[in-house]
Structure 1
Amino acid sequence: MTTQPHDWWRTATIYQIYPKSFCDSGNKGTGDIQGIISKLDYLKSLGVDALWLTPVYESPMVDNGYDIADYYRINPDFGTMADFDQLLAQAHERGIRIVMDIVVNHTSTEHAWFKSALGDKNSPYRDYYIWRDPVDGGAGEDGKAPTNWQSKFGGNAWELDAKTGQYYLHLFAKEQADLNWENPQVRQEVKDIISFWAEKGVDGFRLDVINLISKQQDFPNDDIGDGRRFYTDGPRVHEYLQEISEAVFQKYGSVTVGEMSSTTLEHCQQYSSLDGKELSMVFNFHHLKVDYPNGEKWTKAPFDFHQLKSIFNHWQQGLHNQGWGALFWCNHDQPRVVSRLGDDQTYRVESAKMLATSVHMMQGTPYVYQGEEIGMTNPHYSSIEQYRDVESTNMYNIMVNEQGVSEQEMLAILAQKSRDNSRTPMQWNTQKHAGFTQGTPWLEVAANYPDINAEQAVADHDSVFHYYKKLIALRKEVEVITTGDYTDLMPEHSQLFCYRRQSATQTLVCIHNYYGEPAECVLPSDVDVTKGRYLISNYADVTGEEQAPQQVMNLRPYECRVVLIEHTPA
């Protein structure tokens, strides 16, 4: 397959919907497909090109749908297959594509395959999963687990099947059993599942933790870590992805984005190689671990600004002309960026706009997570009873009950780090429960919804919403955003993030003050912005014909300015 530089997704912006929290068409308290349909015109007005739906398949919802019990059925909580078909048709009528989330590293333990395999070594589905015998002097609470690998949700990654005496692997919750990709029948099942949805007209797939599907088959203990080095970017992962891509993705012209857990640039260059043999693009999360001191998520910490800039530089330069990346701050697993890296009080609007600009001007495909476009914040819960996320409640129990962390300290950590920070219901208007539902919401709405909601944002032309709309449009209008190379102009500056994008005919200079204090920006002498014009800024008095860019700029708190310079090719 030859490189197609004009693939639609290279100039596109994709909007992520977490259906459970997006819009409830009735009074169930959980969002649904009809609720999404009711907001398609809102999404069309924002200008997004595609919607990524997190899983809507049948599921016991132990991990909010990432534990799939039936890949061919819609979860009744979200609606019916007829509702999904209607969403697909109505989105396509508006020129909006649909990208589905697919989870094929593991299934729910409620899946028919696993229920057949459990307790029966002779089941035809036993080899669909990963089973190992107990080990005397092994790991886990019973001292017999096959390895000391840790689940990403805490605790040992092996669960005993008492009837057969063997353990099955679960890298996530014990209700999420890992599939055995060594089995060609499993790979055929995956091809059949993806083909089913592609035949319906689904435009693409986001592949959950897809770089974990190949495990080192001797399953060694990990003496220096949690086991991830034996299954992350595993020995056959590229072979498996090429097999699935050739059989399904290339056949249907599907856009594909792989979620890559703890990966490397070198692997991502191969996953998203321009030859199109594996995936269209990759999600990596290195830039979202800059507030994990020494790799530790569950601690309250400021972010490392120099590390953030260094990571962006590494990935922007490393993927340029090699592969393609997703650009994002937020998703259903990450806290709200304006609370995390900005100021969600005094400078909420300014910092939300600045943070958006700093990634939307990079090379890649931007993803906007529901509510990000109106500057939604973390909810600042005050009690563990308000949380619903399995990872958060597990870690609370481990750290408070086993490690002696105080409840107050753990609640402060959760207020900063919990996945529920981004899962609070979408804030539509000033009505009860922010217009999300007529019932009782499954997760408490953030208390600031009377001041932060879509209805007010759409009506206010200086809002975060209208700023996102401009950023989305600029990607289609300004060629250098899609094609230009990347240079960090001030890697050592303690307050400014300033980078240059350059193509044969255009230069973009992007200047961002990441802090709540003023900062002076003195541009290098070889970066002459005086011949350019301001393309966008989050302070309204900057852009306009009368304002000419200068080599020295005094930036206000969280201010950003983007300068476009047109030039003839050398």
Structure 2
Amino acid sequence: MGQPTHAPTDRDWWRSAVIYQVYVRSFADGDGDGTGDLAGVRARLPYLAELGVDALWFTPWYLSPLKDGGYDVADYRTIDPAFGTLAEAEKLIAEARELGIRTIVDIVPNHVSDQHPWFRAALAAGPGSPERELFHFRPGRGAHGELPPNDWPSQFAGSTEPVWTRLPDGDWYLHLFTPEQPDLNWAHPAVRQEHEDILRFWFERGVAGVRIDSAALLAKDPALPDLATHPEPHPFVDRDELHAVYRSWRRVADEYDGVFVGEVWLPDPERFARYLRPDELHTAFNFSFLTCPWDAGRLRTAIDTTLAEHAPVGAPATWVLCNHDVTRTVTRYGREDTAFDFATKAFGTPTDLALGTRRARAAALLSLALPGTVYVYQGEELGLPEAEIPAGRIEDPMHFRSQGADPGRDGCRVPLPWAADAPYAGFGSREEPWLPQPAGWASYAVDRQQRDPDSMLSLYRRAVAARPAFGDGPLTWLPAPEGVLAFSRAQGATCVVNLAAAPAALPAHSRSLLTSGPLDEAGRLPQDTAAWLLG
């Protein structure tokens, strides 16, 4: 089981890269105002270079009212003043590249902010105007237009709020997410042209790639039918006309040797693979692995399925354990239910952090040994847990649109701890961070972990440095006891992960490259521990 072997070249860097996700607002605060910024990232580039990552993916850093963590963009060609300036972004891209680190920016094509000039012009122009054709404005149903145009559900899990908002002039407008994020009309040529221009704008500034948010949602059935009566084909998910959009984007990217990674949540492997055809997206996030519970059989199935669905189109798989939207790995793996599902998130879920951390260390070695690209979310390399945010400090709209049932995503977005004895754990110097750091946060600080050879940070650094031993070839499963995952790669390196209760004997090997925890007295691999072996 595996993927086609490709001769590694500089242009193929993305096929086996380690990519680090930067949530700018919470990474490092350069000016001490409580908000992370580009100055903070620039100051920490040596840390990222020492970690050994190949690229940085920045969640949106554009001008935004921040009603949804920056995914409500008001201007793609302007950096939000809270983060810095366009000139500073250009310096960051160049300085990172000098250290061998490429930059990936985040584009949000499904919608814009309600403060975007296009939407403000549409509101001012009134019903039936050309300006409103860039969005989805419709009259309501009912005797007086008082009912929404259709029954579409919100894309925020658990939300019971409508995806339509009525204006005083009687028109309704569509927003699959918050009312502050009106959906664009991708049937309009101006929308397509604008986004191709945005791609060129950032490629011209030296970015190496683009992450595409909600990549399967852009196209809508022009009739906007009720989902209950027209479930197939889906009126706004994974519509066939989307592929023409991404083929045109691919032509733009090819002018600059740029790469794409799509956020594509689809249950159908064949439909998913269509986005990865050679003239469309280069890669897409693998959510089956991210949401999989800590179970050997389920993980093996997720790995096999992922590799199988990528093989026909020759695209590399991506491996992700957590990101800015999901519960942090050490917390999730320390719970009774180790899977991830937005619908089951709740306040006060019991967590065994010692257990979760042990499993997260093993999962790090598992993911970094697999063929393809690995994404590391900031703080994952520090073993940060999910934080419970006090009710009065939560900002995530997912919490409010679920009437408080969902704790939201702020718990995985808490500002990073850099220096244990500095104010606010070294995140910034003057103002309290925009989200509160929990008690004990300083114990995870970078400066402490750098001095500890057994820390999570030390493990990640050693693993990223040793990862080339696995090469870029296919994966071969090895015989192993129940509950144990064991596979080798073409260059001869082997990964073994023990999820069973009993210690597992290691296969024959010439030397051990790395283990996520100590072996037992008999040299066996304990439960929830992983090993990298040679020979």
> Aligned partner of 1:562: which letter?
W
Q: 1:363 to 1:229 in 2, by over 3 A?
A: farther
Q: Partners of 1:312 and 1:396 in 2: how far apart?
A: 36
Q: Partners of 1:463 and 1:111 in 2: how far apart?
A: 45
Q: Residue 108 of structure 1 aligns to a residue in which SS?
A: coil
Q: 1:39 to 1:463 in 2, by over 3 A?
A: same
Q: Residue 51 of structure 1 aligns to a residue in which SS?
A: strand
Contact kept in structure 1, 2:332 and 2:356, CA below 8 Å: no
1:477-500 Cα offsets, whole Å, 9 max, x none, are 431xx221354866x94xx35042
Q: Tell whether 2:87 aligns with 1:102.
A: no
Q: Partners of 1:227 and 1:152 in 2: how far apart?
A: 18
The 5-angstrom pairing of residues 61-140 of structure 1 reads 61-119=66-124, 120-121=126-127, 123-136=129-142
Contact kept in structure 2, 1:212 and 1:231, CA below 8 Å: yes
How many Å apart are 1:228 and its aligned residue?
9.9
- Residue of structure 1 aligned with 2:513, choices 514, 524, 535: 535
How many Å apart are 1:108 and its aligned residue?
0.5
How many Å apart are 1:126 and its aligned residue?
1.6
Q: Partners of 1:336 and 1:113 in 2: how far apart?
A: 36
Corresponding residue for 1:391? 398
Q: Partners of 2:43 and 2:33 in 1: how far apart?
A: 16
The 5-angstrom pairing of residues 442-521 of structure 1 reads 442-479=434-471, 482-487=472-477, 493=482, 496-503=483-490, 506-514=491-499, 518-521=501-504
Q: Partners of 1:391 and 1:89 in 2: how far apart?
A: 35
1:237-257 Cα offsets, whole Å, 9 max, x none, are 1111001111x1111111211
Q: Partners of 2:329 and 2:48 in 1: how far apart?
A: 20
> For structure 1, which runs of at least 5 residues remain unmatched after alignment?
292-302, 400-412, 524-528, 566-570
Q: 1:121 to 1:330 in 2, by over 3 A?
A: same
Q: Partners of 2:172 and 2:244 in 1: how far apart?
A: 27
Q: 1:335 to 1:228 in 2, by over 3 A?
A: farther
Contact kept in structure 2, 1:232 and 1:261, CA below 8 Å: no
Q: Residue 112 of structure 2 aligns to a residue in which SS?
A: strand
Q: Tell whether 2:532 aligns with 1:562.
A: yes
Q: Partners of 2:34 and 2:7 in 1: how far apart?
A: 44
**Greater displacement, 343-352 / 450-459:** 343-352
Q: Partners of 2:233 and 2:393 in 1: how far apart?
A: 31
> Aligned partner of 2:287: which letter?
F
Q: Partners of 1:309 and 1:144 in 2: how far apart?
A: 48
Q: 1:90 to 1:168 in 2, by over 3 A?
A: same
Q: Partners of 2:93 and 2:417 in 1: how far apart?
A: 24
- Residue of structure 1 aligned with 2:301, choices 286, 290, 310: 310
The 5-angstrom pairing of residues 356-435 of structure 1 reads 356-381=364-389, 383-397=390-404, 399=405, 414=407, 418-430=408-420, 431-435=422-426
Q: Partners of 1:162 and 1:514 in 2: how far apart?
A: 58
> Aligned partner of 1:146: which letter?
P
Contact kept in structure 2, 1:71 and 1:193, CA below 8 Å: yes
Contact kept in structure 2, 1:98 and 1:202, CA below 8 Å: yes
Corresponding residue for 1:191? 196
Q: Residue 356 of structure 1 aligns to a residue in which SS?
A: helix
Q: Tell whether 2:261 aligns with 1:283.
A: no
Q: Partners of 1:511 and 1:137 in 2: how far apart?
A: 65
Q: Residue 434 of structure 2 aligns to a residue in which SS?
A: coil
Q: Partners of 1:271 and 1:10 in 2: how far apart?
A: 16
Quote the RMSD (CA, aligned, Å).
2.8
Contact kept in structure 2, 1:363 and 1:483, CA below 8 Å: yes
- The structure, 1 or 2, with the larger RCO (C-alpha pairs under 8 Å, 6+ apart) is 2
- Residue of structure 2 aligned with 1:213, choices 197, 218, 221: 218
Q: 1:108 to 1:521 in 2, by over 3 A?
A: same
How many Å apart are 1:81 and its aligned residue?
1.3
Q: Tell whether 2:356 aligns with 1:341.
A: no
Q: Partners of 1:378 and 1:224 in 2: how far apart?
A: 40
How many Å apart are 1:433 and its aligned residue?
1.4
How many Å apart are 1:223 and its aligned residue?
2.3
Q: 1:152 to 1:8 in 2, by over 3 A?
A: same
Q: 1:4 to 1:125 in 2, by over 3 A?
A: farther
Q: How many residues align?
A: 505
Q: Partners of 1:514 and 1:160 in 2: how far apart?
A: 52
How many Å apart are 1:183 and its aligned residue?
1.0
- Residue of structure 1 aligned with 2:238, choices 233, 239, 244: 233
Contact kept in structure 1, 2:59 and 2:106, CA below 8 Å: yes
> Aligned partner of 1:446: which letter?
P
> Aligned partner of 2:274: which letter?
Q
Contact kept in structure 1, 2:330 and 2:353, CA below 8 Å: no
> Aligned partner of 2:395: which letter?
R
The 5-angstrom pairing of residues 147-162 of structure 1 reads 147-153=150-156, 154=159, 155-162=161-168
**Greater displacement, 306-315 / 462-471:** 306-315
> Aligned partner of 2:384: which letter?
M
> For structure 2, which runs of at least 5 residues remain unmatched after alignment?
1-5, 335-350
How many Å apart are 1:351 and its aligned residue?
2.7
Corresponding residue for 1:261? 265
The TM-score with structure 2 as length reference comes to 0.87
How many Å apart are 1:519 and its aligned residue?
2.0
Q: Tell whether 2:270 aligns with 1:270.
A: no
How many Å apart are 1:179 and its aligned residue?
0.9
Q: Residue 250 of structure 2 aligns to a residue in which SS?
A: helix
Q: Residue 45 of structure 1 aligns to a residue in which SS?
A: helix
1:30-59 Cα offsets, whole Å, 9 max, x none, are 100001001001111111111111101000
Corresponding residue for 2:321? 329
The 5-angstrom pairing of residues 2-17 of structure 1 reads 6=9, 7-17=12-22
